[in-house]
Structures are given as C-alpha cells and as structure tokens.
Amino acid sequence: MVRICSIAILLMILAADAARAQAPQAAPPSGDADTFRVYVSVNGAIQSAAADFADGAATRVHAEDGRFETTYAAGGGTTLDVSGGGRVWRALGVSVGMTRFSAATPGAFSASVPHPFFFNQARSISGDVTGLTREEVVVHLQASGVFPVHPRVQLALFGGPAFFRVKQGLVTSYTYSESYPYDEAALRSTTTSTARASKTGFSAGVDVAFYFLRNLGVGAVIRYAGTTVTLPGGAGTAGSVDVKVGGTQTGAGLRVRF
C-alpha cells in the first residue's frame, strides 16, 4: 500500500507540473495561492473509539453443550496520516493518502462450563484478556474542492472511497481449572489469534492550512472514514463476526505546496 500511495502521488505531481507548463497564462505575483497546484500533508491525529463487539462459540464438554464469549472494547488511539494531491481544473482536485491506526482492544471473557457429574448445572467462569490489538491501514482516494481563501490560507473539502485492511486479535479457545466436587471452575488461560479482513468504505472531511512561508505551513484536518468488515470467528468455527472499523480523525501537521 505504501508503494501504491508513493507512485500515485508522484504521478499527480508530474501531471500537475505538465498542466502548469502548458497553461497559457501569465505568472501571478509571488505568493498568490493560485500559483500552487500540488499539496502534501503529514498529520498526527486522534481517532475516536469504534463500537464494542462480541465473538463466541458453542463447545461440547462432558456430553453437554457449553459456550464461551468475549466482548472486546474498541478504544480510540493515535493515527499517522500522509497524503498528497493537487488541483487539476480550477478548484477541483484529486488526492491519495494513507492512514495507519493501532489501539488495544482488551476483552472481557466469560464461559459456561458443563458439570462433569450433573446435567444443567454448568459453572460460570470469567476473566479479562489483555494483549489484544487492532490495526487499521487505510488508503484514501479522494476528489476535493481546493479553495485558496487568502494567499496564506487554503481550505479543502474532500471525499471518496477508502480501502481498509484490518487486523484484529481474537480469543480462540481457553483452559480452566476445577477440583472435586467440581461445583466451581476458574479460568486458567486463553489462546488468541489474529483475524484479517479487507473492505472498501468511504471517507470525507475538511482540511484548513496556514502557510507561514511561501511553500511551507501547518494545518488541521477532520475526517470520517469507516466501514464494517467481516472477520472469521475467533473460535475457529465456520462463524464470523461483523466489526465496525474506522471513526472520526482529528489532527494537525505539516503542509507543503508547489
């Protein structure tokens, strides 16, 4: 994905330079925002928390059905955002970018474990599961409206498809301890694995940049990007779990224009 973004940004820069070279207009005064056609931004941002979700499976223990389930807390976290684009006709522009998000998703585990001697007397066990994470890598392809409201200030509105690649840690199995008369059981350990999925969603947002030098400035961005991915069930069964990914990203960073 990084290679795709780099190639796309390079092609847009070359296209914008060619369009500017062929334009039969007189050169505007130095510092006029309309002279700039290519823009690059690098941001650090905070992504809002996504919706919690749960995954589980039925088990067969002591000739009786049991079940275990894990509820995952999908918290927010920091993102890195790199994008580049340019104006191709008047205020109309195109851009491509990539964001990477990673956050802990701790789980609350619970299970119903059948009794070895008596039917319908299952023991309940529970515990917290740490060390689970979610990673989202998103490539954004966007159409934009780029408005130089002042020689030093630029406003951009953008939106388009977003291609998500998601990794999520899930609980796949567990062990428990018990002792005679087996009326109680306790969680001993859990086993986890990483589920993967890809899905196309959408993103849209607004970016405001202030250029304190001719080509260099700072800016702020607000973007929403999201979709729902289907992950293979962590219990290793044929089941699956739908997970909402993405969120609202609020950030700031460096702006460069050519």
Q: What is the pLDDT of residues 198-232, one digit of tens each?
A: 999 999 999 999 999 999 999 999 999 999 999 98
| Whether the predicted model's global pTM rises above the 0.85 cut | no
**Which residue is listed with tokens 């619970």?**
110
CATH 2.60.220.30 for domain 2-23+36-257, yes or no, is no
CB 237 within 8 A of CB 57: yes
Instruction: For residue 233, name the pLDDT band (cuts at 50, 70, 90).
Output: confident
pLDDT at 239: 72
Q: Where are the alpha helices (DSSP H) in 142-218?
A: none
pLDDT at 93: 92
CB 196 within 8 A of CB 137: no
pLDDT at 240: 87
CB 75 within 8 A of CB 29: no
- Give percent of the chain with pLDDT exceeding 70: 84
Domain ranges of the chain: 2-23+36-257
The residue that leads in pLDDT, 74 or 165, is 165
User: For residues 217-241, b (16+ Cβ closer than 10 Å) or e, as one string?
Assistant: bebbbebbbbbebebbbbbeeeeeb
Whether 14 has a pLDDT exceeding 50, the answer reads no
